[in-house]
Chain A
Amino acid sequence: MSLLIIGSQTLTKIVLNKSFINLMRSFLFAVLFGATTWAQNSNNSYIIDAEFIHIGTGELLSNGRILVNKGIIQAVGAQYEIKAPAGAVRLEAQVVTPGFIDAHTVVGLAGYLNDPGSDQDQLDRSNAIQPELRALDAYNPEEPLVAHLRNHGVTTIQTGHAPGAIVSGQSLIIKTNAQRAEQALVHESMLTFSLGGVISGAFSKPGTRAKAMAMIRQKLHKAEEYAHKRAAGTLSSTDLGMEALADLLNGQTQALVSVHKAQDILTALRLQKEFNFPMVLDGVAEIYLVLDEVKESGIPVVIHPTMMRATGEAVNVSMETAALLAKEGIPFAFQSGHENYVPKTRVILFEAGVAVNNGLSSRLAVQHLSLYAAQLLGIDQRVGSLEVGKDADLVLFNGDPFEYTTTVDLVMIDGQLMK
């Protein structure tokens, strides 16, 4: 691996040892003593050459080149096709992929200390239905777990409130280089729902599944009325929770419904049919039992972490589900999910790796980590693939991205080197 600055007057070449430690040492040196200004300035041009480039669309380019300028992908193609502009910084890698998109996490609301007094803002237990809670008002971009995900190739996350309430709040979609929550790509992305036994563990009301459904159905009927009045301009006051639910019923936002047991998946589908709102299923440990119903509904899925522990509602979880969904053509994305203890977060690169071990092809796995996730979140105009005009979010690997012993050399977000 080598790092080159192609200049009109000087050509500096720093040849790095293959050994990882030396590589990092040299890279740190380069960053500290020469590259600081490039990292800060996204106006720099980069030429990225790799043995293999996963475009994200399923296409795999060998001996490919990517040209990045002003944070945007300017060209993608064979190395001989694309001329390196003067002053461009040249990077080399074995494999390049699009930046990965974690379709559901709680990092930034949940922190690594797991200290309820200071960094656990992922679930408020004062009420089981609180659509008015915004992740925007709780997201901490400085949370070390965000950097941890970024160092493993995750450049965009949908983060928000944890499963455990019927409606726990509104998620946001943000890049992992953001310094402020307001930089989110989508401020109010999805309303996070959960159904099943998990709710009664956190709240005294509802105490049963049937009660939870009665509560949310009543609330949605109210929101229908609210939406009508809002449209007619006859509202006497603003109700924040109703605003969020009305937006959902109008199709301006989506519901991300966390659910694991087969019966609860069908309950979610029933609720969606009754109120006809845009929905994404989340978790779905037992989806293989109700595959036809989910397939027929056309509803996409944010699949549980492959290595999710087989306990509680997810006791019947299978590591083969990702491969099964791919085979059945059910659109899905990966998630790091929500962890209560050690480790405090999972990493979608690793979750996809274990899915690859269990039957998903590595090429498809990259696609589900990138473009399919962007499509599911509605941000594929900007991110998700290495195509001209899209944000320069990409990951440089020193080998097969999913091999346990391969490491991430560099992460670029908006044309800035982050690692």
Chain B
Amino acid sequence: MKNRFFVFLLCIPILTWSSLLSAQEKPIAFIGATIYPIEEPFIENGVLIIQDGVITAVGDSRTRIPRGAVINDVTDKVILPGLVDTHSHIGGGDGGDRSSAMHPDVRVMDSFNPLSPSIKKALAGGITAANVMPGSGLLMSGQTIYVKLRVTSDVQEMLMCVDKENEVCGGLKMANGTNPIGSGNSPGTRAKSAALVRSLFIEAQDYQQKIIAAQNDATKIPSRNLRLETLVEVLEGKRTVHHHTHRHDDVLTAIRLADEFGYDMVLQHVSEAYKVAENIAASGYPSSIITLDSFGGKMEAKDFSNKNGAVLEAAGAAVGLHTDDYITDSRLFLRSAALAVREGMSREGALKAITLANAKMMRVDDRIGSFKKGKDADIVILSGDPFSVYTHVEQTWIEGQKVWDRANPEDKKVATGGYGVFRLNTHTHTHEGGQ
């Protein structure tokens, strides 16, 4: 017995050591590809090394590859950071209802389906993170979520939080122009829309003042008000407003309101940005825009132009691109950027507009959006030039895990479509444990 016990004692450090070893994954080195780090010029025949879900090195062919690394020869391929979509409706979530025009308390998180096939579709397009929003039919349709498209059935495991302490893991969707008009009894006009929003923010300012004045005295603190609490987060700069706006005058109205209350804002869609590009640039608010196969489809999009990217870039405004999936298809997000290049945007600007610029708009650029040591190992491997019609997304990786692979027939079907691929609730994730 004594002997056995001794053997057991001897084993403890060995067991501990081996479990430590298995916790640390082998590094993976991607070699031979053209790498776009985004913050640096592209690297031909580059080396990208990842380990334990983060980037450990990026450089040219002389970059030292650690001993024991798994070599992934991707010669002639192109590697981009995982794409970031600043405006998406994947996951089938919803927002506020017609009981009111403003629902800052409503969370898209509470209706988001992580098993929706639309999420696989985004992975097939190289998208690894997204701002998932409720709709635009209301002045405030609810809270958005910033999600990493990790393979999971629990939305909470996907959240990327701007402010972990206060659990702020998204923005607030607002809208002006015709979409929120006529969805209920009020607002019926643009001026009324702005008045309603201003009144509610003033109410939130009062609520904020009461909380400050109470100085943690429980008897004086006002009772919790979910609507106003969210707006206080906005007023305190913890939560970004994502403002749907199309017509040039509506864009300036959105800017006027943000200036009045001093909140952080991203202009969303901005169909007529080219008419007020100088004003947008001077305001300092970034624009999250879309490219489309045609203008029109509603009054506000009648003057839409794919030149917005080029014009905003020339004006010196921060600009990103989004899919607004289902308006455009997440699988074709690179094509969206190519259409901006077609109309004069720089290649560098367009690549930034689907990665780092968007990570900044979501304030998660410390984790994603470019290849930098310590950032998440979210990568997209392409068969060729990012803006070519002949290019395919071949693999999508999130935090060091391959989550989509065109070489896998089941995954390829997501890229092309076909029988039963997008039937809701029948599509299971092929990378889920054991499946």
Contacts and interface: CB of A to CB of B under 8 A. Distances in A.
Interface stretch (B32-40, B211-219, B383-391): B383-391
Interface in A325-341: 339-341
B326 interface: yes
Chain B residues touching A, range: 35 or more
A345 B296 CA distance: 8
Contacts of B292: 342-343
A26 interface: no
B403 interface: no
B335 interface: yes
Contacts of B304: 342
A354 B332 contact: yes
B213 to A, nearest CB: 47
Please report whether the interface of chain A is mostly helix, strand, loop or mixed according to DSSP: loop
A404 B419 contact: no
Interface in A301-325: 307, 309-311, 315-320
A20 B326 CA distance: 31
B42 interface: no
B293 A345 contact: yes
Interface stretch (A68-76, A83-91, A107-115): A107-115
A341 B298 contact: yes
Interface in A356-377: 356-358
Interface residues of A, number: 45
B22 to A, nearest CB: 41
Contact of B296 (A21, A114, A307, A319): A114
Given A144-B296, A341-B297, A405-B341, A356 B419 contact: no
B419 A289 contact: yes
A320 B296 contact: no
Given A113-B302, A342-B301, A343-B292, A405 B417 contact: no
B118 to A, nearest CB: 10
A403 B344 contact: no
A255 to B, nearest CB: 26
A145 interface: yes
Contact of A404 (B295, B329, B342, B415): B342
Nearest to B424: A315
A193 interface: no
Given A316-B419, A345-B293, A405 B329 contact: no
Contacts of A311: 326, 422
A347 B416 contact: no
B296 A356 contact: no
Nearest to B298: A114
A80 B39 CA distance: 50
A307 B419 CA distance: 16
Nearest to A306: B417
A404 B326 contact: no
A148 B90 CA distance: 30
Nearest to B422: A310
Interface string A147-161: 010000000000000
Nearest to B423: A315
Nearest to B118: A310
Contacts of B417: 310, 316-320
Given A310-B421, A310-B422, A319-B417, A346 B293 contact: yes
Nearest to A111: B296
Nearest to B324: A342
Scoring A144, A148, A343 by chain B CB atoms within 10 A of each residue's CB, the highest score goes to A343
24 contacts: A112-B295, A112-B302, A114-B299, A115-B299, A286-B419, A288-B418, A311-B422, A315-B422, A315-B423, A319-B415, A319-B417, A320-B418, A342-B298, A343-B293, A343-B295, A345-B294, A347-B294, A353-B389, A358-B416, A403-B388, A404-B335, A404-B341, A404-B387, A405-B341
